[in-house]
Chain A
Amino acid sequence: MQNSFFSGRKLIPGTFILLVLVVSACNKAAQTVTPSLPGNEFLTTVQLQLTNTADPTDVQLASSTQMSPYTNTYQVDSIYTNLAFMRLKANSTYSGRVLILDETKTPFDTVSTEILARENYHLFFFEPSPVLASAFVVSTTTTYIPQDDWLTGQPASDTTAFGISVNESMTNSAASALNLVVSRTDMDDNTPPMQIGLQDNFVTGAASSGTLRVVLRHQPNAKNGTYPPGSSDFDVTYAVTIY
């Protein structure tokens, strides 16, 4: 009986199959979920700093903040737009930069340097409104936001410094459009390089007024020059007057 049991014909193949099954069963797929890290890209204030290229004394600083001007504290559910406006000269070119701050820190933290470091997956969009239909071209090199992502259904007033609605619109008439074209001037380290938008050119046309919506898209492993991928780090609107 013993010799029969230990016969190689039965023992060896059977045990080998068992071994393979054991080795395979010992290796279940592991999964690790890494939770949020504290303090990621916290920001309180977004400023547009524009300098007229023909007149360096003409500097505009538009600021949208969640820091209360009364208590100088961060208000999670509030946005203060009393300084969120700019007055630009007609038919002029302004060099602009976006300054992002965390003013809860002393001295305040310039978040835009961190955005610059992480330029390969950040992209700024600028949407003038009302936008002239013939100028509105959505591409990987223009700063326009696709119509599907426009703000609509917002209150008719009181959301900006001048009580203008932030709802975005398009017009066929240059007379009723905000005559402003924004283009990005900085490039990232992707292959091929793509635009960022921390540095920009603001070119004005005839006198007009409206709003300018600025959105920073965070597009990890997704930045392709378009608006849809990723999520928004901030989404603010400024009142614009061209005179």
Chain B
Amino acid sequence: MKPIKILTFLTALFISIASFAQQKPANFIELEGGVSLPLGNFGKSRTASSLMSIKGTINDVDGWAKVGVFGGIDGAWFFSKHFGLGGMFKYGTYNLKGVDSLSQGYEESFDVDTTRTTPTNYKMWSIMPGLYYNLPIAGKFTFTARALVGMAYSTTPRIYVNIEDGGVTDPPVIQNPSSKAAFAFDLGAGLRYNILKCLSVNLKADYFYTKPDFTITNTVRITNAGREVTQYDQALESVNFSLGVAYQFGKRK
């Protein structure tokens, strides 16, 4: 009798594990892309007159970041019915907004005929492992959420201001790009729709935060006039809206 009891127990255990395993969400790997709305000072800009500085510089905490775009890849392995471990790798860029004001600020500060301002953009790489959550809600729809913590490597734009006055080209004002890695986190939620057994789309909204504290160098700043940023210690935070396409493992049949 004893071996029969053991066999019965093992069979019951196997069935229950198999049953539990069937309830776990499919592991997935997903490609996502979307837009990023800068928040706080990172997404602010100024008027030309507030940038005017004829005796020294101004402490410009604004990031001048426009709505950016990003693409990334993420995936997760689910160890329970709702929770999984995964990670995300993302690359995004933000152009500068208000370049007209920026340029005119230099023009008024130096009192010159023409300024020609050419900025590059912010660039940001991030890699963030974390916890994934999955909750089927109705039919093919699933509520998803994630909390990720990792590192972001950000680069500030190069801002090149060409100055022309009285028919003469003066030395340009150049704010050099600066790069730094810093702690970052991402909190997001979304709605997944299963198109096929192995394929789903995921509409998500995420809050992203990093604070790199850049030290910025400026080339050819001979006189104390005009906007000059040597330190940027504001948070680079954003709300990201993305659409992802996921391949779901183990759901081919």
Q: Which of B31, B168, B170, B247 contacts A6 (CB 8 A)?
A: B247
Contacts known (A11-B247, A12-B73, A120-B224); A220 close to B163, Cβ less than 8 A: yes
Q: Give the chain A neighbours of B96 by CB distance below 8 A.
A: 30
B187 at the interface (CB under 8 A from A): no
Q: Give the chain B neighbours of A27 by CB distance below 8 A.
A: 69, 93, 95, 121
The answer to whether A219 touches B199 (Cβ under 8 A) is: no
Q: How far is the CB of A5 from chain B (nearest CB, A)?
A: 10
A144 at the interface (CB under 8 A from B): no
A78 at the interface (CB under 8 A from B): no
| A-B residue pair count with CB separations less than 8 angstroms | 155
The answer to whether A34 touches B104 (Cβ under 8 A) is: yes
The answer to whether A36 touches B170 (Cβ under 8 A) is: no
B196 at the interface (CB under 8 A from A): yes
Q: Give the chain A neighbours of B154 by CB distance below 8 A.
A: none
Alpha-carbon distance between A17 and B54 when the two chains are bound, in angstroms: 47
Q: Give the chain A neighbours of B150 by CB distance below 8 A.
A: none
Per-residue interface assignment for chain B, residues 70 to 101, with 1 indicating a CB less than 8 Å from any chain A CB and 0 otherwise: 11110000000000000000011101100110
Q: Give the chain B neighbours of A222 by CB distance below 8 A.
A: 170-171, 222-223
Interface size of B by CB at 8 A reads 59
The answer to whether A218 touches B111 (Cβ under 8 A) is: yes
A92 at the interface (CB under 8 A from B): no
Alpha-carbon distance between A117 and B54 when the two chains are bound, in angstroms: 7
Q: Give the chain A neighbours of B70 by CB distance below 8 A.
A: 23
B4 at the interface (CB under 8 A from A): no
CB-CB nearest in chain B for A26: B69
Stretch of A62-70, A201-209, A226-234 at the chain-chain interface:
A226-234
The answer to whether B117 touches A230 (Cβ under 8 A) is: no
Q: How far is the CB of A51 from chain B (nearest CB, A)?
A: 28
The answer to whether B224 touches A6 (Cβ under 8 A) is: no
Interface residues of A in 1-15 (CB under 8 A from B): 2-3, 6, 8, 11-12, 15
Q: Give the chain A neighbours of B166 by CB distance below 8 A.
A: 218, 230-233
Interface residues of B in 205-238 (CB under 8 A from A): 220-226
Contacts known (A6-B199, A23-B91, A31-B116); A219 close to B69, Cβ less than 8 A: no
Contacts known (A23-B91, A24-B93, A221-B170); A31 close to B110, Cβ less than 8 A: no
Q: How far is the CB of A192 from chain B (nearest CB, A)?
A: 11
Q: How far is the CB of A198 from chain B (nearest CB, A)?
A: 15
A: interface residue count bin: 35 or more
Alpha-carbon distance between A121 and B163 when the two chains are bound, in angstroms: 13
The answer to whether B33 touches A6 (Cβ under 8 A) is: no
The answer to whether A22 touches B55 (Cβ under 8 A) is: no
Q: Give the chain A neighbours of B198 by CB distance below 8 A.
A: 3, 6
The answer to whether A22 touches B33 (Cβ under 8 A) is: yes
A153 at the interface (CB under 8 A from B): no
A32 at the interface (CB under 8 A from B): yes
Contacts known (A3-B252, A12-B29); A221 close to B116, Cβ less than 8 A: no
Per-residue interface assignment for chain B, residues 145 to 183, with 1 indicating a CB less than 8 Å from any chain A CB and 0 otherwise: 000000000000000000101111011110000000000
The answer to whether B170 touches A34 (Cβ under 8 A) is: no
B186 at the interface (CB under 8 A from A): no
The answer to whether B223 touches A223 (Cβ under 8 A) is: yes
The answer to whether B116 touches A33 (Cβ under 8 A) is: yes
Q: How far is the CB of A187 from chain B (nearest CB, A)?
A: 12
Q: List 19 A-B contacts (CB under 8 A).
A: A3-B252, A8-B29, A8-B249, A19-B72, A23-B93, A29-B118, A33-B114, A33-B117, A120-B224, A121-B111, A219-B170, A219-B223, A220-B111, A220-B112, A221-B110, A221-B220, A222-B171, A222-B223, A230-B170
Given contacts A19-B72, A221-B225, A224-B222, list 20 more A-B pairs with CB under 8 A. Answer: A12-B247, A19-B33, A20-B71, A29-B118, A30-B95, A31-B118, A33-B116, A34-B117, A35-B114, A40-B113, A118-B54, A118-B111, A189-B224, A191-B224, A218-B112, A219-B170, A221-B170, A221-B221, A230-B170, A232-B166
- Point out residues on B near A: beta carbons under 8 Å: 29, 31, 33, 54-56, 69-73, 91-93, 95-96, 99-100, 102-104, 106-108, 110-121, 163, 165-168, 170-173, 196, 198-199, 220-226, 245, 247, 249, 252
- Point out residues on A near B: beta carbons under 8 Å: 2-3, 6, 8, 11-12, 15-16, 19-20, 22-24, 26-27, 29-37, 40-41, 117-121, 189-191, 218-224, 229-233
Give me the 8 closest cross-chain CB pairs, A-B, nearest first. Answer: A231-B166, A19-B71, A220-B110, A34-B103, A32-B99, A231-B168, A31-B118, A8-B247
